[in-house]
Amino acid sequence: MAEKPRSSDRSSTQPDSAHTPAREDRHPVDQTLPPLRLVTTGLQHVAAMYAGVVAPPLIIGAAVGLSVTELTFLTGASLFLAGVATLLQTVGVWKIGARLPFVNGVTFASVAPMLAINKSEGAENALPVIFGACMVAAALGFVVAPYFGKLVRFFPPVVTGTVITLIGVSLMPVAFNWAQGGDPAEPSFGAAKNIAMAGVTLLVVVLLRRFTRGFVKQIAVLIGLAVGTLIAIPVGLTDFSALKSAGLVGFPTPFHFGAPQFAVAAIVSMCVVMLVSMTESTADMLALGEIVERPADEKTIAAGLRADTLGSFVSPFFNGFLATAFAQNIGLVAMTKIRSRWVVAAGGGILILLGLCPVAAALIATVPQPVLGGAGVVLFGSVAASGIRTLARADLGNDDNIVIVAVSLAVGLVPVAAPDFYHVLPGSARIILDSGISTGCATAVLLNLVFHHWRSSRRGDDGAGPAEEGPAREDRTDPASGR
């Protein structure tokens, strides 16, 4: 009983309620920051995920043959709706929103099936068909969200640590692609100046993290992006052409590209994408919960998935696509140690403003891909490091847990190590299998069932092995219960 007060502390930095105002007694996730820090740290989150938000609409818009003006409109709509979905997650309303520092935006998992829809339906009908399929898939996701929340008991540290590590490692190719230039079709892709700019940005971030303190240290990534962009100007990597055609004010007019159409094949493919995205969001919420020291329970996951799916349902009305969590921002939280959800809410507000102000959106778009790549190495690596830290809490002296980690990582890394591994399978199957995070997560959960839950049912015990006494037992999650 003497240890109980210590174990109830949620954070080593949480103030003592007897000596500080009640306002400071809140968990760090719920605490606010001064306005300047709130805006700058929120902007840092926007900078970290901006490329991921605008990439899908740029790819789809180009595929359906949109003009530069229409492409800017589609991109602005994605930014606006990413902000709305982020506010749903962070601020929350009723039973909607995880109320964690969780950034939402267009899921890249939807790009391949949307391109397939464009090919089958034709460029004229592609966007209305895509929007209709997204609406149906999001409605389905909202209905099944509470059942996904019940999966939390199947995610002990050996599972969550594996998945978090896999998220970080799986994102590394994105950073490396950015560092080379972002577009393999460009002649300059992989050029020495691109890699050098990524290296300079990485060096700036590392030096700031090493030799500065306080607020400057916390926004090291944002400063690194700004410095990298400025250095890239004389190198010739910064493109300001987007500013010339951008208007000052713009609003995503509802159904700008036509009323939604409903095609069965398109709906089925987008429903699969939605289920994959929900699986990834569940893993991301578990990862973020560990990082901010507010573990995501069943209700949190259900509320977070409701925000994902509600944002995805509203999105097509304003010419947007399916929304999901952005794993790269989890790395930013892990690295900066800024756990306030209001920081990310400020980022959501900035995204809305960017969506309503094309000039501002175009200005942020001037950050070169190599600069983003240099910062991405730090961000994504921080996610992997957080996963390793979580795995340290699992009993890796247990051979069963070693098998769970080994096989799950191997399965999850197949799309990273061998991108064409599943090329002979149908496109519908590849939607799932090409998502290493989803397959790795599913494998870890299944193996945890095989080695701990199903075995414990046959043995009639809790599957946790011999009873342990004292603090050692407190520090390890029971693999049979996942709690």
Residue type, 478: D
Angle, helix 157-180 to helix 264-291, in steps of 10 degrees = 110
Please, which pLDDT band fits residue 192 given cuts at 50, 70 and 90?
very high
The pLDDT assigned to 209 comes to 85
**Which residue in this structure is represented by tokens 């159409």?**
261
Residue 204 has pLDDT above 90, yes or no: yes
The amino acid occupying position 220 is A
At CA 17, angle to CA 14 and CA 20, rounded to 5? 90
pLDDT at 220: 80
pLDDT, residue 474, reads 34
Reported as type and span, the H/E element at residue 145 is helix 123-149
For the chain, the straight-line distance linking the first and the last C-alpha, in angstroms and rounded, comes to 20
Q: Could you tell me the pLDDT band of residue 407, with boundaries at 50, 70 and 90? A: very high
Ranges of beta strands (E only) in 181-327 are 323-325
Tokens of 197: 């700019």
Separation in Å, CA 325 to CA 280, 287, 299, 370: 8, 11, 17, 23
| Separation between Cα atoms, residue 410 and residue 396, nearest integer Å | 17
Are 45 and 103 spatial neighbours (Cβ–Cβ below 8 Å)?
A: yes
Residue 218 has pLDDT above 60, yes or no: yes
Helix (H) and strand (E) counts for the chain?
22, 2
Q: Could you report the per-residue pLDDT of 421-465, keeping only the tens digit for each?
A: 888 887 667 766 776 777 888 898 899 999 987 755 555 444 444
Largest CA distance in the chain: 70
Interval 116-144 mean pLDDT: 87
Eight-state DSSP code of residue 69: H
Tokens (6 digits) for 183 = 């577009």
Rounded Cα distance between 147 and 160, Å, is 19
Indicate the residue type of 65: G
CA quadruple 267, 269, 275, 281: dihedral sign: negative
Cross-strand partners of 407: none
Across 149-158, 223-232, 335-344, least confident range: 149-158
pLDDT band of residue 402 (cuts 50, 70, 90) is: very high
Looking at the predicted structure, is the pLDDT value of residue 345 above 80? yes
What's the CA gap between 335 and 139, in Å, rounded? Answer: 35
Position 462 scores a pLDDT of 42
Mean pLDDT value across residues 93-104? 87
pLDDT the model gives residue 364: 64
Residue 28, SS3 per DSSP: coil
Residue 319 has phi, psi (to 5 degrees) of 70, 35
Taking the complete model, does pTM exceed 0.75, yes or no? no
Range in 78-82, 149-153, 415-419 with the lowest mean pLDDT: 149-153
**pLDDT (mean) for 345-367:** 81
- Per residue in 164-198, is it b (16+ CB within 10 Å) or e — as a string? bbbbbbbbbebbbbbbbbbeeeeeeeeeeebbbbb
Range in 14-18, 154-158, 289-293, 339-343 with the lowest mean pLDDT: 14-18
Give me the pLDDT at residue 6, please: 40
